[in-house]
Amino acid sequence: MDDQIECSGFFAAQTEETISCLDKFQSSGALQWVSGNILEAFYSFGYAVTHPGSWLAWVGGLDTPEDKQSMMKFIFYGASVEFFFVVFTIFLLVTIAGLIWRNFMWRSVRFLEGFANMFGRFFAWAGLIMVLQQIIIVFMQRIFTRSEIALVYGVDFLTFDVSWWSEELKLYNALVVALCCTYTFVQGGHVRVDLVYSAVRFRTKRVIDMLGSLFFMMPVALVTWLYGWFYLWRNLVVPNVSAWNYDLDQLLTRSRAMRWNVETIGFSPNGFTAYFLFKILLVTFALMVFLQAIAFFYRSYLEWKEGPESEGKYLDKDKLGDADAELAANIH
């Protein structure tokens, strides 16, 4: 406290000592803020686990004011500082455990990469479905001159205009892009913009990969999540929810008027009416990229630690079954 008074006495002079002292208190305050939020994350996580009704009561419906408040809490905390520090604290604990027990970190890598591969291999079939559906649309329009296509013959609520099915093709493309992105990353299918990477040593490459995952992949995924989360809910409920304009108490007050308002407006009168699914995919994409960034950071660290002989260790890559295709994939 005496140091703080001593510093404040020089504010008018704007000397170098004043600036240095101010920087010291700013950095100290930031450190206290981060450490305080990390400690609070243990309480936040414990409370969320032991009191699921406080933020999941809305799953059964929005029948009571308590249900509406629980949904508002779910939306608010889904992109809040508290949630960020819960995730950050879990990441720190898993990383510390992995540094102590290397096999645990390898298991984490295999689990996260297996998660990406599982989703990617399943939703990659959306590309085939998209092609087959486009063929059916062409046949129904040009040959049979039908204006409607029924998913199940004779069922009215599964019968849509041809333009609905045409616009719905975008959903398959979005499935491939959003849910196969991390799968493609694990398989090494993304194009790398290489300026110095190929010319440096093995361990230097791993350092570049670690920095890229920490300072590029994670921040981009985080920003995408923050914007995508409220963008999603603004197309699902009213009134509009934004943690940037209201605090939690204000949002809980607004929750009395909350109701479902799922976006069903297409780009054309008879067009696709489930564009809210694209918002869900945006949030899912951000989550999967963030998890893959963690896996990539761990793998890069482990390969840096263990040396060139660990490159590609436990990596579950697809077998193309053709020597030329395998060579082209490795070159790419």
Q: Please indicate, yes or no, whether residues 150 and 286 belong to a single structural domain of this protein.
A: no
The continuous run of DSSP H or E covering 302 comes out as: helix 276-306
pLDDT in tens, the chain (332 residues): 444 444 444 333 334 444 454 455 455 688 899 999 999 999 999 999 999 999 999 998 899 999 999 999 999 999 999 999 999 999 999 999 999 999 999 999 999 999 999 999 999 999 999 999 999 999 888 888 777 877 767 666 667 788 888 899 999 999 999 999 999 999 988 877 778 888 899 999 999 999 999 999 999 999 999 999 999 998 899 988 876 677 888 889 989 999 999 988 777 777 888 889 999 999 999 999 999 999 999 999 999 999 999 999 999 998 876 565 565 556 55
Q: Please indicate, yes or no, whether residues 65 and 162 belong to a single structural domain of this protein.
A: no
Q: Please indicate, yes or no, whether residues 144 and 13 belong to a single structural domain of this protein.
A: no
> What does each C-alpha distance from 256 to 60, 127, 233, 249, 317 come to in angstroms?
17, 43, 16, 12, 51
Q: Please indicate, yes or no, whether residues 206 and 314 belong to a single structural domain of this protein.
A: yes
The 3-state DSSP composition of the chain as helix, strand, coil percent (nearest 5) reads: 70, 5, 25
Q: Which domain holds residue 17?
A: 1-39
Q: Please indicate, yes or no, whether residues 87 and 12 belong to a single structural domain of this protein.
A: no
Q: Global pTM?
A: 0.86
Q: How many domains does the chain have?
A: 3
> What does each C-alpha distance from 172 to 61, 129, 138, 210, 267 come to in angstroms?
30, 8, 17, 32, 17
Q: Please indicate, yes or no, whether residues 9 and 50 belong to a single structural domain of this protein.
A: no
Q: Please indicate, yes or no, whether residues 156 and 28 belong to a single structural domain of this protein.
A: no
